[in-house]
Structure 1
Amino acid sequence: MTETTRRSLFRLLAATAQAPDGLKIRPVGRHIAYGANPEKQVVISWQQLEKVNGPYVRIATEAGNFGAKISAELRTLKSEIGWQEGDHSFPPHGPDPLYQYYLHVKLDNLKPDTTYFYVVGHQDYDPITSKRSGETAQFRTAPTTNAPFTFTAFGDQGYGYNARKLNSLAKDQNPAFHLALGNLSYAIHGGTKNSEGGHTDTDKYDAARWNSLFAQNEFIAQNTPWMITLGNREMEKWYSSNGYGGVKARFTMPDNAWSGSTGIYAWRYQNVGLISLDGNDICNRNAANLDHTKGKQLTWLEKQLADHRSNPKIDFIVVYLHHATYSTGESGAESIAQQKWAPLFDKYQVDLVLNAHNRVYERTDPIKAGKSTKTGTTYITTGGGGQALDTFYQNAPESYLGHEDPSGTPTMRCFKKNSDKSTDTKVTWSRVRYRGYGITAVDVSAKTMKIRALDEDGVLIDELTLRRD
């Protein structure tokens, strides 16, 4: 029997086999997100490793007193084995192709400032009636009036020891939500130089790494809204022309910039207005999606910044994305963001920009018109989320709390389109540099935003307080 015949037979047998026993198929990888109005909107998402019938969510405001079943939307991804170079062996004894089943339930008209309990199930699998332990999770909607809260952020997570340790550290902060700053699973895990996303002929890909990520993150993401933004490794062009078919199957973000936008959205949590941007739109080095919005993102950004700044309920504006507008890390900064986005950040007094891509921690002085000021925008790179660390360009020395080092000359590199060549600029605004794993935690209260950077052991490496009059 030829290999082609064997695989055809395998598919036929799989298609005609009886449906698996629902009781044996536990839901995995639960993760939640806020909608644009976190006082009333939450999305519950999870994964099934095999296809099931009748997936649903049940919610309650009192533990154990669950309401009716709410049907889930199924989104299926089909990943051909021929695309992939995996961490494990593929057929003859395994799925061909790999199917991943993602379920989503959008909840609206929830009560503000309320704790909800939830379970997920499907036909022949009801966690309540079967009394299976450990199946109940919970979330809390945002309050309508301001109260102190914390959120956390990091990017370039992947999966493994360091990523799990940082998840635990983030959970210890009791965050209202977490910002996941792109390059999430590292399913795209290499390839030829500059082909880390968007190049199906050279990218090394393993779709099953997403399964590992969701399993790893479940203990925090099932209770804490996980708000994602897109990195270069989310450009999985096997699924769609812009590469975002995969991420749209796995996650449900507000995506309210325009019909069909992905990873570009705005929302408000109490007195903080937040904006997620697609950095691939302005990235020169990994240019597969360069200018793919044809200016729509820039136009929307200005309108949204104006709306946020004119909103009397908003004190602080936080922008988050994967790519760096300003950074001295080895992976560089984005000149297009400096030319097109930074003037808008200046104009509308953006308080904080959070990004990753450079797998280090760096904080700038407040920057306005490209230079250090006292009242500009603070840019923080927080990319030490779990993957192998980067260096600072031209080996600029680390300088962080208790280990300040004024020596050396930090240099920003901005890559040219599809090139390793860069324009290098010596800078004075690089205030804190730390080459290690860690998270950023932001404590928000009325007119005050305290930023803490913690290393993977929870030791404070940077601290800054921003204030609004």
Structure 2
Amino acid sequence: MGSVGYRVLAALLVAGCSLGLAACQEQQPPTDGRAVHFTAAGDMGMGAGARSVLEVVSGLRPDFNIALGDLSYKAGAEQDYCDVVTSKLGEDFAYELIAGNHESDGSEGDIDVFAGCLPNRLQGLQGTYGRQWYVDIPLDKPLVRMILVSPGLEFKDKDEFDYSRGSERYKWTEAAIDGAREANVPWTIVAMHVPCFSLGHYGCEAGQPLTNLLISKKVDLVLTAHEHAYQRSHQLGINGACPWIFSGSAVRSCIASTESQVTSGKGTIFAGVGTGGAGEHDLSGDDPEAPYFAAWSAANRNPALGTLDVHITEGRLDARFVPVSESGFMDHFSVVK
């Protein structure tokens, strides 16, 4: 099967699963007709890899895409990058941005310029697009609150985004999560460029206070990039035997579930999707945090560029990594109410 045919098959697997495969039988129709469909990946660039991933996104036909930072990797090329995106996805597609370290300080692009040529197209956005914002989707009777933050980054205006415990940005994030719960929004997803947990060479650049806040608040899914690889954790949870989760090690009691289908409210899944086109880093299965991870793809193991494809209904969240070719790595997981 050619790559185009494979992408069509992947789209069918996620969207309808009408082919009768066992993995698809986890998918359930929405209970009231509402559904949200989005894709997400970071670390893109403007080369053949990025263009291939954008073609996959185009074939999946999501409602919107979250670009998890590190866009053009080239100073002064903001419009060129925007042109690559719109040539594949269309001028009016909601290609939503959060900054990465390559464009936060303006060294290889300027997030504010990117935000000008790839503007927000989601209704009801609160905050500063490209830096720190959230939005409820759909605006009327929302299914999910998407919260996007920028820990570990410094912007060219010297605004260092501090998410230490008790800081204004920490409190903003906490209030955004609590507000979703108070409004009875079924799902909460947080996205940012830098991870805390990784099998690569990065440490907890997101910061342990923010990371533990997200876990303690039982955010359903956290999306990151920065490490050029795909790495999906088990569901991690804080409990009496695990009051705080530290990076750099793994404690079994901090793993709420190792199943591919988990229950919402028990903990948080972290999905690093730095597979948007710029190539992959090596990861290590001997990393001290390895017991926290359920699946991973890297330059030295099952390398694959691709996107995370996420479908949400009131009762479940289904996510699947869709690679650019039939020989690529695949992964899927679900969170149910």
Q: TM-score, normalised by structure 1?
A: 0.52
Aligned to 1:384: 275
Aligned to 1:150: 37
Q: CA deviation at 1:334?
A: 1.7
Aligned to 2:178: 306
Matching of residues 52-91 of structure 1 within 5 Å: none
The 3 A distance-change label for structure 1 pair 174 and 248 is: closer
Structure 1 residue 350 corresponds to structure 2 residue 233: no
Aligned to 1:48: none
Aligned to 1:296: 168
Structure 1 residue 214 corresponds to structure 2 residue 214: no
Output the amino acid matched with 2:197: Y
Matching of residues 101-140 of structure 1 within 5 Å: none
Deviations 1:379-417 (CA, angstroms, capped at 9, x unpaired): 00000111032111xx33xxxxxxxxxxxx2x2xxxxxx
Matching of residues 197-212 of structure 1 within 5 Å: 206-207=75-76, 209-212=77-80
8 A Cα contact 1:323 1:333, kept in partner: no
Which structure carries more strand by proportion? 1
Aligned to 2:13: none
8 A Cα contact 2:297 2:329, kept in partner: no
Aligned to 1:429: 292
The 3 A distance-change label for structure 1 pair 156 and 311 is: same
8 A Cα contact 1:255 1:264, kept in partner: no
Q: CA deviation at 1:291?
A: 4.3
Aligned to 1:334: 204
Which structure carries more helix by proportion? 2
8 A Cα contact 2:321 2:331, kept in partner: yes
Output the amino acid matched with 1:329: G
The 3 A distance-change label for structure 1 pair 336 and 160 is: closer
Aligned to 1:450: 318
Match of 1:320 among 182, 191, 214: 191
Deviations 1:76-114 (CA, angstroms, capped at 9, x unpaired): xxxxxxxxxxxxxxxxxxxxxxxxxxxxxxxxxxxxxxx
8 A Cα contact 2:82 2:118, kept in partner: no
Deviations 1:327-378 (CA, angstroms, capped at 9, x unpaired): 2123x1325522x112221232100001110111010001124221132100
Match of 1:438 among 293, 306, 309: 306
Output the amino acid matched with 2:189: V
Aligned to 2:256: 373
Consecutive aligned runs of 4 or more in structure 1 exceeding 6 Å deviation: none
3-state SS of 1:466 partner: strand
Aligned to 1:97: none
8 A Cα contact 2:190 2:222, kept in partner: yes
The 3 A distance-change label for structure 1 pair 446 and 385 is: same
Output the amino acid matched with 1:277: V
8 A Cα contact 1:255 1:262, kept in partner: no
Following the alignment from structure 1 to structure 2, what is the Cα–Cα distance between the partners of residues 165 and 244?
23
Aligned to 1:174: 61
The 3 A distance-change label for structure 1 pair 447 and 249 is: same
Deviations 1:264-311 (CA, angstroms, capped at 9, x unpaired): 01111130111010133499xxxx764458822111001111001222
3-state SS of 1:279 partner: coil
Q: CA deviation at 1:247?
A: 4.0
3-state SS of 1:341 partner: helix
Following the alignment from structure 2 to structure 1, what is the Cα–Cα distance between the partners of residues 129 and 330?
36
3-state SS of 2:65 partner: strand
Q: TM-score, normalised by structure 2?
A: 0.71
- Percentage of pairs with the same residue: 18
Q: CA RMSD in A?
A: 2.8
8 A Cα contact 2:112 2:130, kept in partner: no
The 3 A distance-change label for structure 1 pair 367 and 289 is: farther
Following the alignment from structure 1 to structure 2, what is the Cα–Cα distance between the partners of residues 376 and 147?
24
Q: CA deviation at 1:462?
A: 0.4
Deviations 1:177-219 (CA, angstroms, capped at 9, x unpaired): 10000001112xxxxxxxxxxxxxxxxxx31x32321221113
3-state SS of 2:146 partner: strand
8 A Cα contact 2:40 2:309, kept in partner: yes
Q: Which runs of 5+ in 1 are unaligned?
A: 1-144, 188-205, 397-408, 412-424
Aligned to 1:68: none
Output the amino acid matched with 1:256: Q
3-state SS of 2:126 partner: coil
Deviations 1:124-165 (CA, angstroms, capped at 9, x unpaired): xxxxxxxxxxxxxxxxxxxxx752332101001111111111
8 A Cα contact 1:282 1:334, kept in partner: no
8 A Cα contact 1:239 1:246, kept in partner: no
Q: Which runs of 5+ in 2 are unaligned?
A: 1-31, 238-243, 246-253, 258-265, 299-303
Output the amino acid matched with 1:323: V
Indicate the structure (1 or 2) with the bigger Cα radius of gyration: 1
Structure 1 residue 256 corresponds to structure 2 residue 126: yes
Aligned to 2:28: none
Q: CA deviation at 1:262?
A: 5.1
Output the amino acid matched with 2:148: S
Following the alignment from structure 2 to structure 1, what is the Cα–Cα distance between the partners of residues 325 and 163?
40
8 A Cα contact 1:180 1:229, kept in partner: yes
8 A Cα contact 2:189 2:220, kept in partner: yes
Higher relative contact order structure (alpha carbons within 8 Å, sequence separation ≥ 6) = 2
Output the amino acid matched with 1:162: G
How many pairs were matched up?
A: 266
